[in-house]
């Protein structure tokens, strides 16, 4: 049994959830018996594989996320002890990650931990009223990664953050995949044109897009200030897809700035086909986040021929070469607005970056999990020696 541990799982949707789902799907397609260990959620989700859920409560400051409390669950411990695991892979250092460490110690099997997020930033938001908690929890996070036999990062620049947190061990780069990689058949530009027609996007209007958690850490305040500067200079439509703790405040800010006619909030789009249409119908993906490590959404946009605008020096920008497979700007609304204004009159530059993004940033999850599977086998073999 391969054990995949993570604190978020459907119906909660984010990049790490998508990673876990694709790991399990493609591992199962190889005939591997796989299960997911994750906090309980009141909204049930049907799966073709085993899901072990343990007691949880909602996190008020990070809706719709939940925090697991396995110490209050009398059943999860025995279920884990009675399951014959060959390898454990934790995608989160919190409650599910600590359960993975417990299983490792009980069954003497290898444990991989993947560093997906800038956890310190998350903690500073969640514990604004109790900042003294942050260093205590950060020590626990470091203890988790030190307990792992291997630590994986989704791209090389993430190493800087991991080292800042105090981890000194070896790191292995294991890229994320893209389940939209093979969706476009035939001409990319015909596909994008048809997507615009399906969604009713005017050809003479610049379609801008953000997909992700609606939280301030993602740079959404910068996006809103950018849109204010674009008003009257560029004919545009901004679409926001997702949800998060800041959604109501973002809506209020849009209304305060008089941008209601320019901005649409689409909520969570669960259908990957429907989401791909919005990616394909958009001209630019706006993602000025200094928070994200290796955002899947940038690669998803690339798969649909939509280049991203990222902030210079951000971890997310590591894979982008300005003008070749995306666009980089200083971290200011003025700089981003100026770049968008320039690109609005040079659609050929957007098209060139779109081709470059598809050529360099798109890799299927099947391809990635093939590599993961081979790595699993080697780790299992070496661990037995």
What secondary structure does DSSP assign to 47-75, as a single string?
-SSEEEEE-EEE-GGGTT-EEE-GGG-TT
Q: Is the pLDDT of residue 224 over 90?
A: yes
Give the span between the Cα atoms of 47 and 172, in whole angstroms: 30
Q: Chain centroid to CA 201: how far?
A: 26
Lowest mean per-residue pLDDT among 122-136, 262-276, 335-349: 122-136
Domains in the chain, CATH or no CATH each: 2-177+365-384 (3.40.50.2000), 188-360 (3.40.50.2000)
Question: 272-281 and 188-199 are packed helices; what angle lies between their axes, rounded to 10 degrees?
Answer: 100
Give me the pLDDT at residue 19, please: 96
Give me the pLDDT at residue 68, please: 95
Q: What is the pLDDT of residues 143-163, one digit of tens each?
A: 999 999 999 999 998 999 999
Q: Is the pLDDT of residue 59 over 90?
A: no
Q: Is the pLDDT of residue 61 over 80?
A: no
Please give the average per-residue pLDDT across 300-313, as a whole number: 96
pLDDT, mean over the chain? 94
| pLDDT confidence tier of residue 212, bands split at 50, 70 and 90 | very high
Give me the pLDDT at residue 22, please: 96
Give me the pLDDT at residue 123, please: 83
| pLDDT confidence tier of residue 322, bands split at 50, 70 and 90 | very high
Give me the pLDDT at residue 21, please: 96
Residue showing tokens 């209050």: 72
Give the span between the Cα atoms of 269 and 15, in whole angstroms: 14
Please give the average per-residue pLDDT across 175-199, as a whole number: 91
Q: What is the pLDDT of residues 256-289, one digit of tens each?
A: 999 999 999 999 999 999 999 999 999 999 999 9
Give me the pLDDT at residue 281, please: 97
Give the span between the Cα atoms of 185 and 104, in whole angstroms: 44
The long-range contacts involving 322-325, CB below 8 angstroms and separated by at least 24 positions, are: 323/349, 323/352, 323/353, 324/352, 324/353, 324/356, 324/360, 325/353, 325/356, 325/357, 325/359, 325/360, 325/361
Bridge partners (DSSP) listed for residue 309: 286, 327
| pLDDT confidence tier of residue 45, bands split at 50, 70 and 90 | confident
Calculate what percentage of the chain has a pLDDT beyond 70.
100
Tokens of 114: 């993947």
Give me the pLDDT at residue 187, please: 87
Please give the average per-residue pLDDT across 217-242, as a whole number: 95
Give me the pLDDT at residue 20, please: 97
| pLDDT confidence tier of residue 185, bands split at 50, 70 and 90 | confident
| pLDDT confidence tier of residue 174, bands split at 50, 70 and 90 | very high
| pLDDT confidence tier of residue 251, bands split at 50, 70 and 90 | very high
Please give the average per-residue pLDDT across 301-326, as a whole number: 95
Residue 80 near residue 102, CB atoms below 8 Å = yes
Q: Is the pLDDT of residue 44 over 90?
A: no
Calculate what percentage of the chain has a pLDDT beyond 90.
84
Lowest mean per-residue pLDDT among 76-85, 185-194, 226-235, 362-371: 185-194
| pLDDT confidence tier of residue 53, bands split at 50, 70 and 90 | very high
Lowest mean per-residue pLDDT among 53-67, 187-201, 272-286: 53-67
β-strands 66-68, 56-58: how paired?
antiparallel
Give me the pLDDT at residue 46, please: 87
Q: Is the pLDDT of residue 49 over 80?
A: yes
């Amino acid at each position: 049994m391969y054990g995949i541990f993570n604190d978020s799982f459907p119906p909660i949707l984010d990049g790490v959830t998508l990673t876990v789902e694709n790991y399990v799907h493609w591992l199962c397609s190889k005939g591997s018996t796989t299960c997911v260990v994750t906090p309980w959620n009141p909204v049930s989700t049907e799966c073709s594989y085993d899901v072990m859920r343990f007691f949880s409560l909602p996190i008020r400051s990070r809706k719709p996320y939940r925090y697991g409390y396995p110490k209050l669950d009398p059943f999860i411990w025995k279920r884990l002890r009675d399951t014959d695991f060959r390898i454990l892979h934790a995608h989160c250092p919190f409650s599910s990650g600590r359960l993975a460490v417990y299983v490792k110690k009980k069954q003497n099997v290898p444990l991989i931990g993947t560093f997906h997020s800038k956890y310190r930033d998350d903690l500073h938001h969640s514990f604004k009223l109790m900042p003294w908690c942050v260093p205590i929890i950060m020590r626990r996070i470091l203890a988790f990664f030190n307990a792992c036999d291997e630590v994986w990062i989704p791209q090389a620049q993430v190493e800087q953050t991991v080292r800042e947190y105090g981890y000194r061990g070896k790191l292995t780069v294991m890229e994320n995949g893209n389940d939209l990689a093979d969706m476009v058949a035939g001409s990319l530009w015909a596909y994008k044109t048809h997507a615009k027609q399906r969604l009713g996007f005017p050809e003479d209007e610049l379609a801008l897009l953000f997909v992700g958690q609606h939280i301030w850490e993602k740079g959404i305040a910068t996006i809103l200030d950018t849109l204010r500067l674009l008003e009257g200079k560029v004919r545009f439509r901004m679409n926001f897809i997702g949800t998060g703790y800041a959604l109501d405040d973002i809506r209020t800010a849009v209304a305060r700035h008089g941008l209601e006619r320019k901005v649409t909030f689409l909520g969570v789009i669960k259908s990957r086909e429907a989401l791909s249409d919005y990616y394909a119908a958009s001209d630019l993906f706006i993602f000025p986040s200094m928070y994200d490590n290796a955002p899947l959404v940038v690669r998803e946009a690339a798969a649909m021929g939509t280049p991203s605008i990222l902030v210079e020096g951000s971890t997310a920008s590591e894979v982008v070469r300005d003008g070749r497979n995306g666009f980089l700007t200083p971290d200011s609304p003025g700089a981003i607005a100026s770049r968008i204004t320039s690109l609005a009159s040079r659609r050929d530059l957007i098209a060139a970056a779109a081709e470059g993004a598809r050529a360099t940033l798109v890799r299927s999850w099947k391809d990635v999990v093939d590599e993961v599977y081979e790595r699993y086998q080697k780790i299992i073999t070496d661990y037995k020696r």
